[in-house]
Amino acid sequence: MTIVDRFLKYVSFCTTSDENTGMTPSTPGQMEFAKYLAQELKSIGLTEVSLDENGYVMATLPANLASMRDVPTIGFIAHMDTSPDASGKHVKASIVKAEERDYIDARYKGQDVIVTDTTTLLGADDKAGIAEIVTAMEYLVQHPEIQHGKVRVGFTPDEEIGQGADHFNVKAFGADFAYTMDGGAIGELEFENFNAAVCKIKVHGLNVHPGYGYHKMVNSMRIAYQLAVMLPRWETPEHTQGYEGFYHLIGMNGTVEETTLSYIIRDHDRARFESRKRELEHLVRKVNREFGEGTVEIELRDQYYNMREKIEPVMYIVDLAKSAMESVGVTPNVKPIRGGTDGARLSFEGLPCPNIFAGGENFHSRYEYLPIPSMEAAKNVILEIIKQA
């Protein structure tokens, strides 16, 4: 099966994750896809294929070295779910020339690109990564003359809702280091990411008849609005880039009686990250002093941290990825992730895990697309890393 055919098969599975179900995987389509992948990995010749009750798939490409020289066990990881930000059901994918769609970047002119009919996202994030890993493994099985050490592959559920590493068994995976194939455009190589937290603010009010509300009514929506506008207006996703952090209001739901604000907090710098959380707590205290203790409640929860501190002691694994890219004609673009990957949390659990491009663009959008040469290049980078290790 070609890498394109494989990818097109994968996007036929609806694997949108859902943070509200309380299950792992959070949606049944992910387990259905996991079962398919486990069977596929067996069929292409991988060993030690496992699928656990939480939907995590792992497998091994055994070493075939002629000598017993010391080589590391390398892992490659990608996630099976797609973002809840847009529908991933009934994906209608097609192959077009880049210039046929005005939302495709001009640098891909002349290339074959996989797109949707724009009613759903495509699922290149991260089914492209899975297709690249599986196709590379199949190639190595079919070409035993290429000597290599042991390779482990892992596919996770629920990365898009921040739970992809929740049940990942690092010890069972058994790799010395790994790469997530979860980056964007061709050449991206990332070893630092946001520190991340989620915040839920609940505002309590009191509803009475509006004609008799004088000095009685407490409108929770107005208080929530007051609190929201106290945050710096320029420190939002639409006004920040590079290493700049932000507060992002991702949800609001309210009545006079009760209003909830949901935020995500992001910053590459750990000190500024902690400062952002303290600022939210300060604003809640300030509002409570005005309207009464207990009017506003806050719940803060850290999600993941910047993996840079765990990667820097083993920077040779970043250098290996850069060398592999250059060897296959890809110019490395080392940049910080304005987001996170499973690799961020896995790095803190003892599995150093930089992030490599999967090739897609406009992730989480109905205008997501995947240049086929970028997907082929990512597969070649995987093969080259294994050869050079």
State the DSSP string of 126-141.
HHHHHHHHHHHHHHHH
User: Using one digit for the tens of pLDDT, what is the confidence trace for 214-227?
Assistant: 999 999 999 999 99
- The pLDDT assigned to 68 comes to 62
**What is the pLDDT, as a whole number, of residue 340?**
78
Mean pLDDT of the chain: 96
pLDDT at 52: 97
Q: Is the pLDDT of residue 67 over 80?
A: no
Walk me through the domains of the chain, giving residue ranges and CATH numbers: 3-193+306-388 (3.40.630.10), 195-304 (3.30.70.360)
Q: In the annotation, is 105 catalytic?
A: no
Total Cβ atoms within 10 A of residue 146: 12
CB-based contact 176:72 (threshold 8 Å): yes
- Asked if residues 308 and 192 have their Cβ atoms less than 8 Å apart, the reply is yes
pLDDT in the model for residue 339: 81
Q: Residue 360: CB partners within 8 Å, gap ≥ 6?
A: 122, 124, 125, 128, 184, 185, 368, 369, 370, 374
pLDDT tens digit string along 348-363? 999 999 999 999 999 9
Region for 294 from its dihedrals, namely left if φ exceeds 0, alpha if ψ lies in -120 to 50, beta otherwise: left
Q: Provide the pLDDT for residue 388.
A: 95
Q: Percentage of the chain with pLDDT > 70? A: 100
Instruction: Give the active site residue among 81, 132, 182, 235.
Output: 81
For residues 283 and 69, which has the higher predicted lDDT (pLDDT)?
283
User: Which pLDDT value is given to residue 306?
Assistant: 95
Based on the residue annotation, tell me whether 159 is a catalytic residue of this protein: yes
Beta bridge partners of 79: 156
- Stated pTM of the model: 0.88
Q: Does residue 337 carry a pLDDT above 90?
A: no
**Residues 3-37 pLDDT 10s:** 999 999 999 999 999 988 999 999 999 999 999 99
Express each pLDDT in 112-155 by its tens digit.
Answer: 999 999 999 999 999 999 999 999 999 999 999 999 999 999 99
User: Quick one: residue 215, left, alpha or beta (phi over 0 = left, psi -120 to 50 = alpha)?
Assistant: left
Query: How far apart are alpha carbons 369 and 387 in whole angstroms?
Result: 30
- Say if CB 190 and CB 252 are below 8 A apart: no
Q: Contact, 4 vs 372, CB < 8 A?
A: yes
- Of 125, 126, 158, 159, which is the active-site residue? 159
